[in-house]
Amino acid sequence: MKNHENDYQFNIDKYYKNYLKGSRIFNNRNALEASYIPKELPHRDIQIKEIAEKTACALLGDVPPSFLCYGMTGTGKTATIRYVSQKLAQQNSEFNPWWIYINCNVLSTPYRILAYIYNTISRKEKIPPTGLPKDVIFRKLLGLLDNRVGNSVCFLVLDEIDILVNKKGGNEILYDLTRLNENLDISKTSLIGISNKLKFRENLDPRVLSSLGEDHIVFPSYDASELRDILTERAKIVFQDEVLKEDVIPLCAALAAKEHGDARKALQLLRKAGEFAERTQNKNVTTQHIKNAQKDLENDHIVEFIKGMPLQAQLVLTSIYLISKFSSDHIIISGDVYDVHSEIRGLIPGIRQLTKRRVSDYINELSLAGIISAEVKSMGHYGRTKIIKLDIGRELVEKVLLEIDKIRNIMNHKPVFLQTDKVKLKNHIFKKLI
């Protein structure tokens, strides 16, 4: 008997064989990893010079000033600091500086940050993950710094420092860190803060601001031509020779430049495009691959954005989705969305009824985010309403909403006004008799 399942079985051995036989796209894929530090950082000369000038005295065992680095996401802040720290370490100095790199997004509490600094320097004796009072850790840390770092400088890099500032106890620990030197006998520390939230300084304790925030280095966004240079240099390492078609890098750079000149975005596009080419066993990466990659990345962003919205906003979107699912040619007006929202929120325990005004606010927010379009139309003496359309694919919306626990179960709810056997009168639903 024929085994039907086998008809559809994916032949993994054959797939791998073909993969190995196929043409190569990548030469060194690892050079696209976030941890990779390029040998050169085009268009960051000014920032590298400024940081070099500020940090150079550490080579003589003197205390460099603490400072902040600002710039939008993907402007090379982290890469530049890592690059400079590497260069500094390569100099033959009797005062070889220490670098402790802390990502405040990963180490999310003041306690964990202190424990991490201690444990990284100590290597042997560890601070437990919880339990010790802060002043005990500080005392231990002071002793350890003098002991291990000796008469050198220890740089403490606080990346994504804005996250720490907004945390409970964040300002206190920053204040304590800025004052370490006053209590150290031999060693010295220097703080470097990095942030892509330009406004976070408003939340800084004035005492911290005065020792950390006065000096700052700005990382401007890249323009398309700068991104082209960055991509060209990286592509030489990442791809096999002559794999990239001529227009690929300019297109990639132009797309990323539109998004506030984000080098990370540009590199992600290039990587995804390369993977598309590889998967379809193409010999070259083409502009079409870049366009597909852009679409894919946009979808990833939308998915993340929707998942991060408040539940009520997700329910407003669900209402729009349900109307368009059950009646794709129905012209959706804000009143319908309000009605369906009222129905579905009643299906989920603990969700409040919204006012028409709030629903309308959420509609505006969804429209600003580019998920829907909402056009205001005058309806004569019935007043004005919004005509609403989904601006992204319904399948994509469905995919995200199905991943949200509270919403998954209402995805098949047919709005009452689309149920032919029901009518709604003064907010009560009745079954039609005829």
Ligand X SMILES: Nc1ncnc2c1ncn2[C@@H]1O[C@H](COP(=O)(O)OP(=O)(O)OP(=O)(O)O)[C@@H](O)[C@H]1O
Total residues in contact with ligand X, by rule CB under 6 A: 19
Contact 164, 200 (CB under 8 A): no
Collect contacts of 362-371 with beta carbons under 8 A, ≥24 apart. Answer: 362/312, 362/313, 362/316, 363/316, 363/334, 363/337, 363/388, 365/313, 366/313, 366/316, 366/317, 366/320, 369/305, 371/302, 371/305, 371/306, 371/317, 371/397
Q: Hey, which residues between 226 and 245 contact ligand X (CB under 6 A)?
A: 230
User: According to the binding rule CB under 5 A, does residue 189 interact with Mg ion?
Assistant: no
Among the listed residues 162, 163, 183, 175, the one whose alpha carbon sits nearest the alpha carbon of residue 207 = 175
Stretch that binds ligand X, among 2-10, 59-67, 262-270, 348-356 (CB under 6 A): 262-270
Stretch that binds ligand X, among 260-268, 344-352, 377-385, 417-425 (CB under 6 A): 260-268
Q: How far is the CB of 196 from Mg ion (least distance, A)?
A: 7
Return the number of the residue (78 or 178) whose C-beta is nearest Mg ion.
78
The structure tokens listed for 31 are 């050079």
Residues 37, 80: Cα–Cα separation, whole Å: 9
Count the Cβ atoms, other than its own, within 10 Å of residue 163: 19
Q: Report the residue from 43, 140, 216, 414 that binds ligand X according to the rule CB under 6 A.
A: 43
Return the number of the residue (34 or 376) whose C-beta is nearest ligand X.
34
Q: How far is the CB of 256 from ligand X (least distance, A)?
A: 10
The structure tokens listed for 434 are 């005829």
Q: How far is the CB of 431 from ligand X (least distance, A)?
A: 55
Question: Which residue in the shown chain puts its C-beta closest to ligand X?
Answer: 76
Q: Which does 433 bind (CB under 5 to 8 A by kind): Mg ion, ligand X, none?
A: none
Q: How far is the CB of 194 from Mg ion (least distance, A)?
A: 6
Residues 347, 162: Cα–Cα separation, whole Å: 39
Q: Hey, which residues between 375 and 414 contact ligand X (CB under 6 A)?
A: none
Q: Report the residue from 216, 264, 301, 422 that binds ligand X according to the rule CB under 6 A.
A: 264
Kindly list the distances between the CA atom of residue 10 and the CA atoms of 78, 184, 278, in Å, as whole numbers in the listed order: 42, 64, 18
User: According to the binding rule CB under 6 A, does residue 42 interact with ligand X?
Assistant: yes
Instruction: Give the contact letters, 240-269, x = binds to Mg ion (CB under 5 A), - = no.
Output: ------------------------------
Q: Hey, which residues between 178 and 237 contact ligand X (CB under 6 A)?
A: 196, 230
User: According to the binding rule CB under 5 A, does residue 78 interact with Mg ion?
Assistant: yes
Q: Hey, which residues between 62 and 121 contact ligand X (CB under 6 A)?
A: 71, 73-79
Q: How far is the CB of 74 from ligand X (least distance, A)?
A: 5
Positions touching ligand X (CB under 6 A) are 34, 38, 41-44, 71, 73-79, 196, 230, 263-264, 267
Positions touching Mg ion (CB under 5 A) are 78
